[in-house]
Amino acid sequence: MRTVLTIVRYELRNVARNRWVLSYALFFLVATELMLRLGGSGPRALLSLLNVVVLLIPLVTIVFGTIYWHGAREFTELLLAQPVQRSSLFHGLFAGLVLPLSAAYLVGVMVPLLLHRAIGAESVDLLLMMLVAGVALTAVFGALAVLIASRVDDRLRALGIALGTWALMTLAWDGLVLWVTVAFAAYPLERPLLAMMFANPVDLARVLLVLRLDVSALMGYTGAVFNQFLGGVTGTVAAVGGLALWALVPGLFALRTFNRRDF
Amino acid sequence: MISARGVRKRFGRLPVLTGVDLDVAAGSVTAIVGPNASGKTTFNRIILGLVRPDAGEIVFDGARLNGDARYRERIGYMPQIARYPENLTGRDIMAMVREVRRAGTARDEELIESLTLGPVLDTPLRVLSGGTRQRINAALAFLFRADLLILDEPTAGLDPISAGTLKDKIRRERDAGRALIVTSHVLSELDEIADRIAFLLDGMIRYHGTRDELLGATGQPTLERAIAQLMRDGTSPGVDRPGAPGRDADSRRTADGVDTDRGGTP
């Protein structure tokens, strides 16, 4: 554990000075600020931010994560030549990826909101969910990035797979869902659609937010179905649990690869 | 200090090591030489636990390596390529590795001084030249007074002054009773520092003996020519094609040399 903390501490020091991470924080800062100025009240600004969150966080995390993991390859080897267990190093490097990105997001969103005193009692709930969903997406796509990078040694190919994964989950998925609903309109589709939602972490994060907004119809077909089926606490717990699984399972597969592979 | 027996490794369908036996004793510098892709680095990595062998065993100071990481407290490693987190400084890296190793205060900072690293230790590593990073790499390997030092192409990319400083250091550490494994393509440099030569070809140690024994066995005046002679013997037509006639005769000839010279190997 002490080894993990040591590695995390130095990786944080390294990644926190990375200009991509700094730009990422700055982006959220500017985006939130703009939405507050243009959109007005807290909840509406948050609603506008929602789409940024579910599209941009996965993209930046999976691309940055893949590059980070490959870039750390030689240093990983040097550290593995020290008396360090592989799993300790893995956890340290993974935390060194997910923590700075999460922090960049949290700081970027929170600073303007606090400055404008934009969070009323009615939007605390929503804000909290948005922060949770953003951090969960960072963990999920960080784990996917690490899984891709540790299984695919070729940098370009790994980056291509990472981008493909992102495009599938954010862009293509809703199209697929729509196609299924149209093609099988004659059948009862609730259960299949629910299954499809759990098959996509971006949809899960979206549902988490949509469930507090009562605008589910605007947020894609799956959101509407989910609200109708589960609504309220059960739905929230199920979605958070699904997201946790989406971070854990790829993460554990990546750890297994990391423990067994040759460097 | 290190004793390897029957170490085999293949990457996919490519056999890299096909049964390596090698002993490395304390107080000596063992140079592993061989053509490109002969498995020198892979062998080093197997000792370090970075690569898992398919078969065979490595015994480190009496204990068989079994996946426990603690034996590496006693190993210092200088990899061929030094790439570090770019926003950290040399001082950060050294502090980090020190904490990870939980090393005490007994540190050897001699190379930091003699390689004149003082002025660059607080500069972010991304702005340092390759040679400077390689010097930091060298200082880091020697920093913890490890009993076994594994140096992969240590002088590659170093200027002549730094290379000389490093070679002096290697000799001093050997005299202090440490074991060193050095790989290098620059054989004239190994001439200065190597006590024992292990010649790796086609995944096997084809020759292992002291430098003088090698010169005597091949009848050549310098290490470079002696190794060239070994390579010519080993890579004559037929050897690159497994199973081709001539390969067996060739390896037997080399193996005979090994057997006679092994007599004096502890």
B87 touches chain A (CB under 8 A): yes
Smallest CA–CA distance, residue B181 to chain A, in Å, is 15
Residue B12 belongs to a domain with what CATH number?
A: 3.40.50.300
Which chain B residues have a beta carbon less than 8 Å from that of A100?
none
The per-residue pLDDT for B236 is: 44
Closest-CA residue of B relative to A262 is: B51
Smallest CA–CA distance, residue A256 to chain B, in Å, is 15
A18 touches chain B (CB under 8 A): yes
Best residue of A11, A67, A78 to probe chain B, by most B CBs closer than 10 Å? A78
Query: What is the percentage of chain B residues whose pLDDT exceeds 90?
Result: 26
Which chain B residues have a beta carbon less than 8 Å from that of A18?
87
The per-residue pLDDT for B247 is: 37
The per-residue pLDDT for A57 is: 94
Tokens matching residue B104: 């005490």
Q: Are the C-beta atoms of residues B154 and B107 closer than 8 Å to each other?
A: no
CA separation for the pair A144, A133 (Å, rounded): 16
A2, A7, A13 ranked by CB distance to B92: nearest = A13
Which chain B residues have a beta carbon less than 8 Å from that of A262?
11, 45, 50-52
- Taking phi over 0 as left and psi of -120 to 50 as alpha, with beta for the rest, B102 belongs to left
Which chain B residues have a beta carbon less than 8 Å from that of A263?
45, 50-51
Closest CA to A162 of A142, A148, A143: A148
Which chain A residues have a beta carbon less than 8 Å from that of B86?
14
Closest-CA residue of A relative to B46 is: A262
Q: Worst-scoring range by mean pLDDT, A71-80, A208-217, B190-199? A: A208-217
Closest-CA residue of A relative to B95 is: A10
Q: Which residue did the predictor score with more confidence, A148 or B34?
A: A148
Smallest CA–CA distance, residue B229 to chain A, in Å, is 33
A7, A85, A263 ranked by CB distance to B51: nearest = A263
Average pLDDT of chain A, as a whole number: 86
Q: Is residue B10 predicted with pLDDT exceeding 50? A: yes
A87 touches chain B (CB under 8 A): no
Buried b / exposed e across A33-51, counting CB within 10 Å, b at 16+? bebbeebeebbebbbebbe
Which chain A residues have a beta carbon less than 8 Å from that of B85?
10-11, 14, 72, 75
B63 touches chain A (CB under 8 A): no
Mean pLDDT of B68-86: 87
Query: What is the percentage of chain A residues whose pLDDT exceeds 70?
Result: 89
Q: Worst-scoring range by mean pLDDT, A69-78, A137-146, A214-223? A: A214-223
Smallest CA–CA distance, residue A261 to chain B, in Å, is 8
- Tokens 């605390």 belong to which residue? A124
Mean pLDDT of B13-28: 90
The per-residue pLDDT for A230 is: 63
Domains in chain A: boundaries: 2-260
pLDDT digits (tens, 9 = 90+) for A244-257: 999 999 999 999 99
The per-residue pLDDT for B240 is: 40
The per-residue pLDDT for B78 is: 92
CB contact under 8 A, A17 and B87: yes
CA separation for the pair B35, B40 (Å, rounded): 9
Q: Is residue B253 predicted with pLDDT exceeding 60? A: no
The number of folded domains in chain B is 1
A79 touches chain B (CB under 8 A): yes
Residue B66 burial (C-beta neighbours within 10 Å; 0-12, 13-18, 19+): exposed
The per-residue pLDDT for B46 is: 92
CA separation for the pair A219, A125 (Å, rounded): 19
Closest-CA residue of A relative to B91 is: A10
The per-residue pLDDT for A252 is: 96
Q: Which residue did the predictor score with more confidence, B44 or A181?
A: B44
The per-residue pLDDT for A63 is: 96
CB contact under 8 A, A13 and B79: no
pLDDT digits (tens, 9 = 90+) for A132-179: 999 999 999 999 999 999 999 999 999 999 999 999 998 888 888 888
Best residue of A2, A14, A67, A73 to probe chain B, by most B CBs closer than 10 Å? A14
The per-residue pLDDT for A22 is: 93
B246 touches chain A (CB under 8 A): no
CB contact under 8 A, A83 and B84: no
Can you give the residue range of the structural domain that contains B38? 2-262
DSSP E strands, B99-240: 148-152, 179-183, 196-201, 204-210
Average pLDDT of chain B, as a whole number: 82
The per-residue pLDDT for A134 is: 93
Q: Which residue did the predictor score with more confidence, B59 or A212?
A: B59
CA separation for the pair A90, A71 (Å, rounded): 14
Q: Which residue did the predictor score with more confidence, B173 or A49?
A: B173
Sheet containing strand B2-11, strands side by side: B14-24, B2-11, B55-60, B63-64
Which chain B residues have a beta carbon less than 8 Å from that of A77?
50, 79
The per-residue pLDDT for B248 is: 39
B73, B75, B100 ranked by CB distance to A79: nearest = B100
Q: Which residue did the predictor score with more confidence, B81 or B55?
A: B55
The per-residue pLDDT for A129 is: 86
pLDDT digits (tens, 9 = 90+) for A187-205: 877 778 788 888 899 988 8
Q: Are the C-beta atoms of residues B176 and B105 closer than 8 Å to each other?
A: no
pLDDT digits (tens, 9 = 90+) for B144-172: 989 999 999 888 888 889 999 999 999 99
The per-residue pLDDT for B251 is: 38
CB contact under 8 A, B100 and A75: no
Smallest CA–CA distance, residue A2 to chain B, in Å, is 8
Q: Are the C-beta atoms of residues A222 and A177 closer than 8 Å to each other?
A: yes
Mean pLDDT of A46-67: 89
Q: How far is CA A110 from CA A9, A28, A102, in A?
A: 24, 9, 12
Q: Is the ipTM of this complex over 0.85?
A: no
pLDDT digits (tens, 9 = 90+) for B208-252: 888 888 888 888 888 888 888 887 876 544 334 343 343 333 333
A190 touches chain B (CB under 8 A): no
